[in-house]
Structure 1
């Protein structure tokens, strides 16, 4: 049994999925590569680590699984939450974090990604990479001899979605105290995405349907979710007996929503498109009035992976009691910590 932190309180929960931690793939490129049980096991582990730290005074992992090991943090893009979460997590596990920004190394510039992967992985025990194109993270994983964890690429953001799932577990675990497992808490919850078709929603679709969520995805007609992502999500939804639907009208998408999620409309590298994008996303701002008109549930909660811009969500929602954005941000640490603890203390590949 473990006492799990839920919004500052605790609840006793059985760790149902711990055995699945032993079956994880070597790398974490996308949660599409993980089963529902493996995803839930990582979230349970994160909740357990959070509980032991915040409620029982555990300031470092007692086994120090990364003692004597170095983890390379390859960051082609700047970051706040990801960098703080990853460096503090490695210290918690007894390891050494080596931060390598785009000014520090020649990642795919004067040296190929293949060569960089082979060289860097020969000297470290794990790689946590925040990159641009999806093929950069897959190339690193292909040619690295140590585990590679995707800290962000233009198609995926697995550690963010793990943090989202931990946050949902904390909030709705309190509301569903009779649920016997994390899957029981998640099953039937309706998540409405209102925003761009980007790496966050792709990763949500890679993980949430298989974990029992009904999904409502709303993007402007000019920004559709790619067909390959739709097919993957619909296959998972069919197997899990849940639904995934797509909309262009935000008010239709949020009907009966338990959770409304959005993200930036102008990602890093899209600054030149800002004026056009703001026009294209007119009417997509998440507000209390929009949610009420659309028929979201009375106790719906709001999520955003940050940083946030006012055009995406009103202050009235963002700073309200229904917003869990800062709890969600903190949970980046606990889920990254769980991923490191599960994946990195492994021997190198031959």
Structure 2
């Protein structure tokens, strides 16, 4: 690879240039091609990857574990309730021990400060598998999928309709960086992280792209090349909160009528899990525009690319 990724953390796409993101995407494409013909390279042979998931996961955990195995490495999943970290051990102590035993840490947790503290005390790379603020591994898979289906990234328009949590933040970082216009449709009163919005707008000015946050669903969807939905239920949401949020977000549900203003050849993304008839209709999720299952597969290949690039 042209750039030296070895030993670098993968915490946020803010830390990477457009050229570096393309290198990771190119590597993911090659790893996917080789996996399809049964010729997986083994850059992680003899390497051990620790995994801490303080939030539940299906796809992220499985894709990392499968990907590590395909690249010849071993993964060890540590349940939070089995760790001394859960009994008050400082992060810095846990981090320094993991650093002596393992070649990298994949962590899925709550605040980004926890990931950053692990990274501070570890010499080996730390990979952000999701925090409340960002989900960079998912976005890398999304970029791979868009490029795979559209043949390019630059000059496209992506519309995101959901809550302004980690996925919205990561798209705000990635889209202007990669030359994609982004429009986010959201209910009145919601606010994205102002520092991330500032980063997105500054990057957009440099790269000649557009960043729009609006309550107008039709405006956001107009001429979209990519339409992205996401669940608006956080883990631990009560039934009462769920009903309240369903009412608030129903006008932002992706359905056949709303997408008429998008490009005829738009593609539909969703990072899953998907709640049919809530954030999108069944016919959108299962329809001809949906590339959700390719997107899910590509998460494994982009995660493999990150691991192959950063692990010594």
Please tell me the TM-score bracket, short chain as reference. Answer: over 0.9
Distance 1:262 1:307 in 2: 11
Segments ≥4 residues shifted beyond 6 Å? none
CA–CA distance in structure 2, aligned partners of residues 341 and 276 of structure 1: 43
Structure 1 residue aligned with 2:252: 284
- 2:263 match: 297
Deviates more, 1:163-172 or 1:117-126: 117-126
Secondary structure, aligned partner of 1:71: strand
- Cα distance in 2 for partners of 1:172, 1:25 equals 32
Structure 1 position 316 matched with structure 2 position 283: yes
Which of 50, 58, 64 is the matching residue for 2:32? 50
* Residues 308-336 of structure 1: CA deviation (Å, up to 9, x unaligned): 01201001100001001111001111000
Distance in structure 2 (CA, Å) of the matches to 1:23 and 1:29: 13
Unaligned runs of 5+ in 1: 1-17, 174-184
The equivalent of 1:40 in structure 2 is: 22
Residue of structure 2 equivalent to 1:160: 138
Could you tell me how far apart the structure 2 residues matched to 1:252 and 1:213 are?
Answer: 17
In structure 1, the partner of 2:44 is 66
Tell me which residue corresponds to 1:251. Answer: 218
Alignment partners' CA distance in 2, 1:108 and 1:229: 30
C-alpha deviation, 1:206, in angstroms: 1.2
User: Is contact 1:122-1:145 (8 Å) kept?
Assistant: no
Alpha-carbon separation, structure 1, partners of 2:216 and 2:84: 44
CA distance in 1, matches of 2:238, 2:108: 19
Contact 2:7 2:124 in 1 (8 A): no
**Matched-pair contact (CA < 8 Å) for 2:7–2:123:** no
| Deviations, residues 10-30 of structure 1 (Å, cap 9, x unaligned) | xxxxxxxx413x257710111
Aligned mate of 2:60, from 82, 88, 113: 82
Gaps of 5+ in 2: none
CA-atom RMSD, angstroms?
1.4
**2:110: which partner in 1?**
132
Question: Structure 1 residue 77: deviation in Å?
Answer: 1.3
CA distance in 1, matches of 2:266, 2:150: 11
Match of 1:7 in 2: none
Q: 1:212-223 residue pairs with structure 2 within 5 A?
A: 212-223=179-190
Alignment match, 1:336: 303
Assess if the C-alpha contact under 8 Å between 1:24 and 1:34 holds in 2.
Answer: no
Partners in 1 of 2:125 and 2:27 — Cα distance? 19
TM norm structure 1: 0.85
1:108 to partner: Cα distance: 5.1
1:236 aligns with 2:203: yes
2:98 paired residue number: 120
Q: How many residues align?
A: 310
Give distance in 2, aligned partners of 1:198 and 1:259.
Answer: 19
